[in-house]
Every structure is written in C-alpha cells, then in structure tokens.
Chains A and B, each alone.
Chain A
Amino acid sequence: MRSHLCLEVNGFPWEGDVEVGQTLLDLLRDSMGLTGAKKGCDGGECGACVVLLNGKPVNSCLILGVDLDGDSITTVEGLNDEESRIIQEAYVSIGAVQCGFCSPGMIVATKGLLDQNPHPNATEVNTALVGHLCRCTGYVRTVDAVQEAARRLGERRRGQTA
C-alpha cells in the first residue's frame, strides 16, 4: 500500500509516494538522498537520526512517512544559515566531533534546544542531549560545545542589536 505525501524539507516543497511502513528516516535517505540523518540503532535509542519536525527534535526512525502531511522537516543539510554555522563551528573548535557519526543528530538537537532556550545550563544541555549516544567524545566536550555555541550566538545577537 502506498500513500501520497506533501512535505516541506529543508525549506523546499517535496511531493511523492511512500510505502505505508516506510519510516521518515528511510524516506529521507532512500527517496530524497538526504543521508545526513544516520541510521544507527533504528529504534530511537542512539539519536543519530534526529531531525526537526516543525521545529522540534524527533527520532526520524520512529516516525512513519504516512504519518506526516504538510509538515516541515529540517535535516542537518538544511542547517545552512549563519546561526547553524556557528553551532557547527563550536562543535569543531571544542573538539566535540571525532568520528562524526553522531554529530548530525547532536547538531540538529542543539539547534532545536538553542531555538527554545538560548542560554542553557549544563543540566539543561544534558537533558536535551540524553538521547544521543557518542562512543568517541565522552560527552563533556559536547556539553561544552553547546554552551560555547550559545555564547557565540549571544555575542552575535548582541552585536546585531548594538
């Protein structure tokens, strides 16, 4: 059984057919060629597949394509504005990226967090990123990177309003 679907993906309209059991993650990777969201556990445990659904971070492996209609999806490929670039640079400069498999999910989740809470403390960062597994960094640098990104974004916003 197939179903017709209309979405907005990274700011562009997308229209097509999906299999009824196809997850949003498979739809992004296999049908749209957006391989930024990674297929790790495929069960909502690792966070590598996180995307923004109408601005909120979600596990794309736990959402069916047919479940969506007219929704807005943002993957790591869609985070190409200046503020998103600052988040990515903070991850790199703090050393929160090593093998990089978990990074797209973490960066998308960071964008979702900082959009809601521009100055999160360490506990709030941990709460927001608890669903992301990383075998390389040990998480401390990830928390530092999010707070560094928040600091740099704050400076940029203050500069814009001055």
Chain B
Amino acid sequence: MITGYIRATSVAEAVSALEENKSRGWILAGGTDILQKAGLKRYKKSNPVVLIDIKRIEELKGIRVEEGWLVIGPATTLDELVKNGVIQAVAPVLVQAAEQVGSAEIRNRATVGGNLGTKRSSADLLIPLVGLKAEAEICDPAGRRKLLIEELLRKGLEESGRRMLITAIKIPVPQPTAWGYRRWSRESMGRAYLSAMVSLERGLEEGTYQVNVVLGGAGLWPCGYEAVVPEGKIFDRSASASLVERIIQEKLGDATSDRDSYKRRLAPVILGEALEMAVKGVRA
C-alpha cells in the first residue's frame, strides 16, 4: 500500500529519494499504469510503497532539437507528444504510435517515460523508438549516461542495487522516411498485445528500398529486421504479402503452443497493415 509520497523538484532529489527508499520507491509520472487495477491498487497491503513524483521537474519535460538529436523529456505527456509540431514533422511514427495509447483522458496524463517504464515488449512507443535507434539518458547516484532503448529494456532500471531515473530520450534526427505503425489489443482501448513498425527509405541502389521492421509482443524483447529489397516487392500486393510472411517466419518461426499460434496468425496481419501504411507514405 502507498505509505509515502515525495514530490521531487529536481533530478538530484528524485535520484536521492530512489536511493533512500530502495525497492519501496516507485516513480510516479502520469500514474495511469501504476494506479490501475493491475498496479498499486492490487499491490499487497503488507508491502509499503513510497511514490516519488517527478511530474514537476521542469528538466524532464518538453521536446526540443539539440545538436542533431531530437530530445524528448520523459515527463512529456502523450497528448503533448501527439500535438507537437517538431514530432509531427520529424518523427510522425511516434504520433501514429502515441495516438493508439488508451483514451484521450489517458493520453492527457500518461507520459513518454511511463510508457517505456512498463517494460512491455509491445509498449506502443517502445517499438518505434527501437526502430529510430533512440537512446535513453539515465541518472543514478553514479551520474548520467546513455543507453540504447533496447539495452535499457533488457537491463531494466536497476543496476547493482542502484535505482535509475530516465532523464531524457534522445533520437538521432531521422532522415525523411515513410513510416507505418499498427498494433493489436485484446482489451477495450487497452495495452498493445502485438505491435509492428515499418520504415521505408530509398536504397542506395536504384529501384530498391531499405526496409526496417520492429515487432513487439512476439517475444520477450522487440525483434528487428532490416533488408534492402527491390521496390516491386513492396508496391506489388502479392509480393509484399510474401515479404511479410517471410519476415514473420524468420522472426517468429512456427507456433509451438495455442498462444503462439494466435500471435503467429495475427502477426502477418499487423505487419502487413503497417507496411501498407508505410507504402501509402511513400506514394504520398
């Protein structure tokens, strides 16, 4: 149960509160995940929890471009992300993904950092951020350093007993590319169960495209696929369907259980739709 609440006003305060409270300390940003039924409301009453509120730390908010990096503060809400002109122009795939999260009410509170902190391999922002080769700047008592988002997901926000705070998400400013993002949820306006991102960029060789795919929810971690393919395989519907099937077979293989079988059948549909969105982007 919630036994304490600390309103941090600086990164240093938040890091020191995390260090002081060890495993009792939970970061509170939007609260839309941890205050849900599956979160603190169902948490064992005998386990004390101290919430460390980071929403009022100015440094953790906002979106800016800085020396070739698009920098997103982890306390930025999904609504702010969706409506931000820089994101819409430079990384529209993040808008496509963030728009899928929950409801308008949830997006008014939920934050970018919170979406990553859930550690679900299908989390809506995680998949495009992996595709964009984003890095997370993290801070603990030892100082600040950067980690690839993928690496952060595998390591978690704890290292040698030290709790870490995400202080920024940094994306190399993307080149003009066509994007597609699709996801499937089993709950009403719920969490992504399976998600796919596709980016298409003209290849160095005439008549080819660089295809980047990230699939989420199909395994413990998001899985990526990169290839240069002739444009016919992308623009022709039956050729693109076999490309999708080939990618899914390579990444997911054959299903070995009923649960896998459901995902195995769903994955080509989601990926196919994401590819179609990206193709529409190229044509536009």
Question: Which A residues contact B (CB, under 8 angstroms)?
Answer: 1, 3, 20-21, 23, 41-45, 47, 50, 53, 56-59, 61-64, 66-67, 109, 112-113, 127-133
- Measured CB to CB, the nearest residue on chain B to A127 is B104
Question: Which B residues contact A (CB, under 8 angstroms)?
Answer: 1-5, 28, 31-32, 35-37, 40-41, 51, 53, 55, 79, 102-106, 108-109, 187-189
- Measured CB to CB, the nearest residue on chain A to B49 is A21
* Contact with A58, one of B53, B55, B105 (Cβ below 8 angstroms): B105
- Measured CB to CB, the nearest residue on chain A to B187 is A45
Q: CB distance B104 to A131 under 8 Å?
A: yes
Question: What chain A residues lie within 8 Å of B51 (beta carbons)?
Answer: 20, 64
Q: Within the complex, what minimum Cβ distance (angstroms) separates A41 from chain B?
A: 8
* Contact with A20, one of B2, B32, B41 (Cβ below 8 angstroms): B2
Q: Within the complex, what minimum Cβ distance (angstroms) separates A42 from chain B?
A: 7
Question: What chain A residues lie within 8 Å of B79 (beta carbons)?
Answer: 56
- The complex places the Cα of A47 from the Cα of B109 at a distance, in Å, of 14
- The complex places the Cα of A58 from the Cα of B103 at a distance, in Å, of 9
Q: CB distance A43 to B5 under 8 Å?
A: no
**Which of A42, A59, A130: most chain B Cβ within 10 A?**
A59
- The complex places the Cα of A132 from the Cα of B102 at a distance, in Å, of 11
The answer to whether residues A67 and B28 also contact, given A20-B2, A20-B4 and a CB cut-off of 8 A, is yes
- The complex places the Cα of A131 from the Cα of B1 at a distance, in Å, of 27
Q: Within the complex, what minimum Cβ distance (angstroms) separates A36 from chain B?
A: 16
Question: What chain B residues lie within 8 Å of A59 (beta carbons)?
Answer: 32, 105-106, 109
The answer to whether residues A1 and B5 also contact, given A64-B35, A67-B28, A67-B55 and a CB cut-off of 8 A, is yes
**Which of A61, A130, A132: most chain B Cβ within 10 A?**
A130
Q: Within the complex, what minimum Cβ distance (angstroms) separates B61 from chain A?
A: 15
- The complex places the Cα of A138 from the Cα of B140 at a distance, in Å, of 50
Q: Within the complex, what minimum Cβ distance (angstroms) separates A43 from chain B?
A: 4
- The complex places the Cα of A56 from the Cα of B109 at a distance, in Å, of 9
Q: CB distance B103 to A56 under 8 Å?
A: no
Q: CB distance A43 to B102 under 8 Å?
A: no
- Measured CB to CB, the nearest residue on chain B to A22 is B2
Q: CB distance A133 to B4 under 8 Å?
A: no
Q: CB distance B108 to A131 under 8 Å?
A: no
Question: What chain A residues lie within 8 Å of B3 (beta carbons)?
Answer: 1, 20
Question: What chain A residues lie within 8 Å of B1 (beta carbons)?
Answer: 21
- Measured CB to CB, the nearest residue on chain A to B42 is A43
